[in-house]
Structure 1
Amino acid sequence: MTIKNPYQTYQTQAVTTASPEELTHMLYQGLVKFIRLSKIAIQNRNMEESHRYNLRAQDIISELMVTLKKGYPISEQLLTMYDYMKNRLVEANLKKDEEILNEIEGYAVELSETWAMAMKKK
C-alpha cells in the first residue's frame, strides 16, 4: 500500500480545481519562488541546484507565453515582457548572476501582485 504525501495531494487538487485566473497567479508565485531558490543556491555555491531552479523559472515563463490569448494589445506587451525575462534568466543562469535574478524577481513580484489585485476586482 502506497502512502500519499498529503502536501502533494493538496497541491494537485488545488491545481485541478483552480480557475484559469488562479492558475496564472500560481504560475507567477512559482516564478518568484524558483528565482529566489536559484539565488539562494548561488549564495550557497550550489551551481547545479541554481541551474535546476532557474530552468524551472524559465519553464514557467514559457507556460505563461503559450497561454496568452492572441489579438489583445496587453497580450503582445506581456509576450514582449516574458521574452525579455526569459532571455535574462538564461543569461543569469550562464553567468550565475544574482543581480540579473534580482531584476527578474522584481518584475515577477510586480506581475504577481498586479494579477492578484486584478483578480480581486473581478
Structure 2
Amino acid sequence: MINSPYQKYQQTQLQTAPPAQLLLMLYDGGIRFIRNGILGIEEKDYEKTNTFLCKAQAVIHELIASLNQAYPIAKNLLQIYEYMIRQLIMANMKKDKAPAEEVLTYMLELREAWEIAAKTANATMDQNK
C-alpha cells in the first residue's frame, strides 16, 4: 500500500512514462546504486556495498529484460550488460571499487547515448506531425 504523496507521485510517474523515459530512469537508478556501492567500499561499509551493488545488478537485469531482440544491437547490449554484472559481482566479492567504477563509466555513456537517441526520435516524430 502506498502511504505518502511522494510514493503515489512516483508510481504515477512510472505508470505514465514513455518507454524511453523508463529506460533513462533505469539507468539513473543503476548509476545511483553503483555510486553508493563504491562509496560503501571506500567507507569499508560492506553491508552498504553489498546492498547497493546488488541493486545495481537488479537494474541491469531489468535492462536485459527490456531488450528487443528484433534489433541486431540487442545482442551486443546483452553482452555488455552481462559483462557489467560480472564486474559488479567481482567488485562486491573483492571489495574493489575499480570494477564498479568501470561499470559506472559504461552506464554513464550508455545513458547519454539513450538520451540522445530518445531526443532524436522525439524530434523526428515532431517533424512528421
TM-score by length of 1: 0.93
Partner of 1:74: 73
Q: CA RMSD for the aligned pairs?
A: 1.5
| Post-superposition CA distance 1:55-110 (Å, at most 9, x none) | 00000111111111113211111001001101111111101111111100000000
Cα distance between partner residues in 1 of 2:43 and 2:71: 42
Residue identity over aligned pairs, in percent, reads 39
* Bigger Rg, structure 1 or 2: 2
Structure 1: any 5+ residue segments left out of the alignment?
none
The residue number in structure 2 matching 1:13 is: 12
Partner of 2:124: none
Kindly state the Cα deviation for residue 5 of structure 1 after the two structures are TM-superposed.
2.4
Higher mean C-alpha displacement, 82-91 vs 2-11: 2-11
Q: Normalised by the size of structure 2, how large is the TM-score?
A: 0.88
Where does 1:70-109 land on structure 2 (aligned, <5 Å)? Answer: 70-109=69-108
Tell me how many residue pairs correspond in the alignment: 121
- Between the aligned partners of 1:110 and 1:11, the Cα distance in structure 2 is 25
What SS does the corresponding residue of 2:49 show, helix, strand or coil?
A: helix
8 A Cα contact 2:2 2:8, kept in partner: no
Distance 1:4 1:18 in 2: 21
> Residue type of the partner of 2:40?
A
User: Distance between the aligned counterparts of 2:2 and 2:69, measured in 1?
Assistant: 43
The 2-side partners of 1:68 and 1:110 are apart by 17
Q: Partner residue of 2:113?
A: 114
Equivalence for 1:24: 23
Shift of 1:3: 8.8
1:19-72 Cα offsets, whole Å, 9 max, x none, are 111111111111100000101111121100110000000001111111111132
Separation in 1, partners of 2:10, 2:54: 21
For structure 2, list consecutive stretches of 5 or more residues without a partner in the other structure.
Answer: 122-129
